[in-house]
């Protein structure tokens, strides 16, 4: 020990000489997780770590849930795909499977997530734009046509309309000749995280948890190869959560699902081995690998502590990972290939059991076949060319990795304990605690990026003079919707409507009386050709459709932003606006369509308040008409539209036309988010005053918006003046 300390002191002396400094404090990096990263780790840092002697396949499973891990079988290669129609998605799947993909990860469109059929008025701009449109069993049958469901593991991301979607998949398997017990894969169905970040919920928290419990109960008894739920930290990180928040809230979600299922009379060891987890893997390479190791440890410890599991498999955390959507950038898009590779490597060194790699164009639109091939080959190269699969947990024993694994365990534990003290995650979600914490973290991150503290190559440093043009997948929303409506009409004309209504009534009764199993009853309804929208509405009549008041965090962005001089141009613009208008600029932040990703809108709203704007924020899932109603009632100067899910070409022009109809076209319209550059002229022609793509620094967006609003006010003033004079 003395010798080790002495050696460390010698290193410090040498380091100070090299740097010509009095201390080494400047080399310590503070992470958003509150972990201090030292420039050097030694044997001293791991002397008091109690998990170092653990082995893979043994409690607490930190080194992996399987004894042999990749040496026995490499991780499963997945490709997340789904767009437009079931037929197009099916053709895409078949090509990928023929090229080395091993499992399907299905993305459904937002209308489907939210439990609307494609003919519903609220989803005119959403159908087929961000995933595959599914209205019935007939769509499911087309989606999986020629794909043997007794051989193919299918992962599905679905939360709101989880009952009809899962039931539709089961019935599609039946009608393919595959019995229910042979189906394998997972359905995400992590509704708690929806209330925190992604917002593709339908019903309130308590009935939503009842739905999850029924699915766990059904699948654990009748579908031995199918995971009952995939508990998702991925969307938390995507929404701006720190790694510790993602880790802690995901584990806390899992504990809550065990608690909810137990309350329905299920035995923990009958279903807990079937729970799986889904994490994002971002660019902080070593911390991401440490996060997966910490997650397995925490799950093992907490399940034993709270539920006294007797089956050791109940303590094993199974991990699916996806390279981060938040790290993908529109600028210099080919850089995303490198980002995806680094993240995939971190996931595999952390012990992911299945992995989806993002395509480089997913910051702009849905993946093209070309980009999907590169993403898939990234994993094939890692599996077959790097030697990663030759040994188990190669990072074990690293002074640095073991040290930060321990720190992440400790910090995540603190958060989990806080949530448990509240009464569990359902209570915490209703109180809004995790959502508020993630939004604070997201706002801080954006401030660090905008001020250059956090470097993103090609965005805020090392920018290219010109941008590479890349192919962007463009979906004809109107054509897809028309095709879906035609299929819906045909289904309703050829089915036995009496049997459909009886099946839907049975579902309503079970929901009212807290009786039966809702998935079991949903399967019966889907066999009779009930639609996704009809089944969802049957439950909505009992449970209601959930909505939350949008809250805005304050005094976070400005406090975190380092380059305070950037605020001067915003203040100058504000001063000029006030000289014209006599008041601060007032903006209405709108989310229109069924896209529930609200990080961008929330961060902008928070920053703009800190700059001096008066900010109103709309409810989620508004129609253009509803957004205009609210904007006019608030008396705003500007409407800011946050777009992510490709509905901008349909919904934004509709909103501008609504303003014209109401004589409110003096309200300036600006928009931002994931909008491909080739769509900019279309939106400008439609009347959009400014577009702020991904990577735009918020102070720049603020000053531009204010100046545009000032110009608009002057134009209106001069117009009214000339009209009066005439």
What tokens appear for 235 in the block? 């969307």
Q: Distance between CA 546 and CA 111 in Å, rounded?
A: 16
Of residues 80, 116, 400, 543, which has the active-site annotation?
A: 80
At residue 360, the 3 state secondary structure works out as coil
355: phi then psi, degrees, rounded to nearest 5: -145, 135
265 DSSP 8-state letter: T
Of residues 129, 597, 602, 648, which has the active-site annotation?
A: 597
Of residues 291, 591, 602, 649, which has the active-site annotation?
A: 591
Cα-only R_g, the chain: 26
Nearest to 231, CA basis, from 189, 169, 201, 177: 189
Q: Is residue 665 among the annotated active site residues?
A: no
**Number of Cα atoms under 13 Å in the Cβ half of residue 203:** 25
Of residues 129, 235, 291, 320, which has the active-site annotation?
A: 235
369: phi then psi, degrees, rounded to nearest 5: -55, -35
Name beta bridge partners: 279. Answer: 321
Q: Is the peptide bond before 54 cis (omega within 30 degrees of 0)?
A: no
Q: Is residue 94 among the annotated active site residues?
A: no
At residue 603, the 3 state secondary structure works out as helix
Q: Which helix (H) or strand (E) holds 654?
A: helix 648-661
Q: Is residue 591 among the annotated active site residues?
A: yes
Nearest to 612, CA basis, from 592, 585, 641: 585
Q: Is residue 234 among the annotated active site residues?
A: yes
**Residue 304 in contact with residue 312, Cβ under 8 Å?**
no
Q: Distance between CA 75 and CA 77 in Å, rounded?
A: 6
Residue 162 neighbours by CB under 8 Å, 6+ apart: 187, 189, 191, 211, 215
| Longest CA–CA separation in the chain, Å | 93
Cα torsion angle, 158, 161, 162, 164, sign? negative
**Residue 341 in contact with residue 378, Cβ under 8 Å?**
yes
CA angle 181, 187, 189 (to 5 degrees): 130
How many residues does the structure list for the chain? 726
Name beta bridge partners: 616. Answer: 588
Of residues 214, 393, 595, 679, which has the active-site annotation?
A: 595
Q: Is residue 637 among the annotated active site residues?
A: no
Q: Is residue 17 among the annotated active site residues?
A: no
Q: Distance between CA 619 and CA 550 in Å, rounded?
A: 6
- Residues known to be catalytic: 80, 234-235, 591, 595, 597
């Amino acid at each position: 020990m003395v010798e080790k300390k002495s050696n460390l002191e010698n290193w410090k002396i040498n380091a100070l000489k090299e740097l010509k400094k009095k201390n080494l404090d400047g080399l310590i990096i503070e992470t958003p997780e509150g972990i201090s990263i030292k420039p050097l780790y030694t044997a001293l840092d791991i002397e008091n770590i109690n998990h170092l002697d653990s082995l893979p396949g043994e409690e607490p499973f930190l080194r992996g849930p399987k004894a042999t891990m990749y040496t026995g079988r490499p991780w499963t290669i997945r490709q997340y795909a789904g767009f437009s129609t079931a037929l197009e998605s099916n053709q895409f799947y078949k090509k990928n499977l023929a090229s080395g993909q091993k499992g399907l990860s299905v993305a459904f469109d937002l209308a489907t997530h939210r439990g609307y059929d494609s003919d519903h008025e609220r989803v005119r701009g959403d159908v087929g734009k961000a995933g595959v449109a599914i209205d019935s069993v007939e769509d499911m049958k087309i989606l999986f046509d020629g794909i043997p469901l007794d051989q193919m593991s299918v992962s599905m991301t679905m939360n709101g309309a989880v009952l009809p979607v899962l039931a539709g998949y089961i019935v599609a398997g039946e009608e393919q000749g595959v019995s229910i017990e042979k189906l394998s894969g997972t359905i995400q169905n992590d509704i708690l995280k929806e209330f925190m970040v992604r917002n593709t919920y339908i019903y309130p928290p308590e009935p939503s948890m009842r739905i999850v419990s029924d699915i766990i109960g059904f699948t654990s008894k009748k579908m031995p190869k199918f995971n009952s739920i995939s508990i998702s930290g991925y969307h938390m990180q995507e929404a701006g959560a720190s790694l510790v928040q993602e880790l802690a809230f995901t584990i806390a979600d899992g504990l809550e699902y065990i608690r909810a299922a137990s309350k329905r009379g299920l035995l923990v060891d009958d279903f807990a081995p079937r729970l799986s987890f889904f994490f994002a893997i971002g660019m902080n390479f070593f911390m991401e690998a440490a996060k997966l190791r910490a997650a397995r440890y925490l799950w093992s410890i907490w399940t034993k502590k709270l539920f006294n599991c007797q089956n050791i498999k109940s303590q094993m955390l199974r991990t699916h990972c996806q390279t981060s959507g938040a790290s993908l950038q529109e600028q210099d898009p080919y850089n995303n290939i490198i980002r995806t590779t680094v993240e995939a490597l971190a996931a595999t060194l952390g012990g992911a059991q299945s992995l989806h790699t993002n395509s480089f164009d997913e910051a702009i639109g849905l993946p093209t076949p070309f980009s999907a091939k590169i993403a898939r080959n990234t994993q094939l190269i890692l599996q077959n060319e790097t030697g990663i699969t030759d040994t188990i947990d190669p990072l074990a024993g690293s002074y640095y990795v073991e040290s930060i694994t321990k720190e992440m365990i400790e910090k995540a534990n603190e958060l989990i304990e806080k949530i448990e003290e509240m009464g569990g995650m359902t209570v915490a979600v209703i109180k809004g605690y995790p959502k508020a914490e993630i939004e604070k973290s997201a706002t801080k991150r954006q401030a660090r990026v905008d001020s250059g503290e956090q470097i993103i190559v090609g965005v805020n440093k090392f920018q290219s003079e010109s941008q590479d043009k890349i192919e962007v997948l463009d979906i004809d929303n109107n054509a897809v919707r028309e095709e879906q409506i035609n299929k819906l009409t045909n289904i309703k004309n050829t089915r036995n409507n009496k049997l459909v209504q009886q099946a839907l009534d049975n579902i309503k009764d079970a929901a009212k009386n807290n009786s039966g199993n809702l998935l079991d009853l949903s399967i019966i309804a889907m066999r009779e050709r009930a639609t996704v929208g009809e089944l969802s509405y049957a439950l909505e009549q009992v449970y209601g459709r959930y909505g939350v008041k949008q809250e805005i965090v304050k005094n976070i962005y400005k406090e975190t932003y380092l380059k305070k001089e950037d605020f001067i141009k915003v203040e100058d613009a504000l001063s000029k606006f006030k000289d014209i208008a006599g008041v601060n600029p007032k903006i209405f932040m709108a989310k229109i369509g069924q896209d529930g990703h609200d990080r961008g809108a929330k961060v902008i709203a928070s920053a703009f308040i800190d700059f001096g704007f008066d900010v109103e924020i709309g409810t989620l899932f508004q129609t253009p008409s509803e957004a205009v109603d609210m904007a006019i009632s608030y008396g705003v100067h500007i409407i800011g539209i946050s777009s992510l899910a490709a509905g901008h070409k349909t919904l934004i022009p509709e909103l501008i036309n609504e303003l014209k109809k109401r004589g409110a076209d003096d309200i300036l319209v600006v928009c931002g988010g994931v909008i491909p550059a080739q769509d900019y002229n279309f939106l400008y022609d439609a009347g959009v005053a400014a577009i702020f793509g991904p990577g735009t620094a918020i102070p720049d967006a603020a000053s531009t918006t204010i100046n545009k609003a000032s110009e608009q006010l002057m134009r209106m003033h001069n117009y009214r003046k000339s009209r009066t004079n005439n």
